[in-house]
Amino acid sequence: CGLGDLVALRQGGGQRERVEEGVAMSDVSMQPLVFLACLGAGVVSGLVYAALYLVRRRFGFGRLVETMADVAFVLVSAGLYFVVLYFTDYGVMRLYTVAAFLGGFAVIYALLSPLKKRLPYIQAKCKAWCAKHHRKRDE
């Protein structure tokens, strides 16, 4: 995809009529690809939320930590969403792109939510395992 192709795409009024190796891009619907890209961005956003939850848990749930984590989450999530729209050359916020993004986030949130209740138990097991293996190494 050269600069001339990009200029032709921009001047074409959004139509994807680039011909590459005999395949016309106008025959390909971009909606499923944009949907999958937004879904993936939502999944990554969910993972960022989980990581920020662990940061909040580690440093306490004080007002400053909560605010910084929430601001970081909103900035990263919005950035991911709009970067996906930009790089798919779609650039238009549609209902299905928002639904895909929120759906990807909801899937990760639903999968990781039960771990919140089990986190203290998992931490205790990890500490016990580490202590056991450090004792063996020291002997």
Extents of the domains making up the chain: 29-138
Q: What is the pLDDT of residue 139?
A: 56
Q: What is the pLDDT of residue 9?
A: 54
What pTM, to 2 d.p., does this model score? 0.58
Q: What is the pLDDT of residue 86?
A: 79
Q: What is the pLDDT of residue 33?
A: 78
Low-confidence ranges of the chain (pLDDT < 50): 2-4, 6-7, 13-24
Q: What is the pLDDT of residue 28?
A: 60
**CA 39 – CA 32 distance, rounded (Å):** 10
Q: What is the pLDDT of residue 23?
A: 45
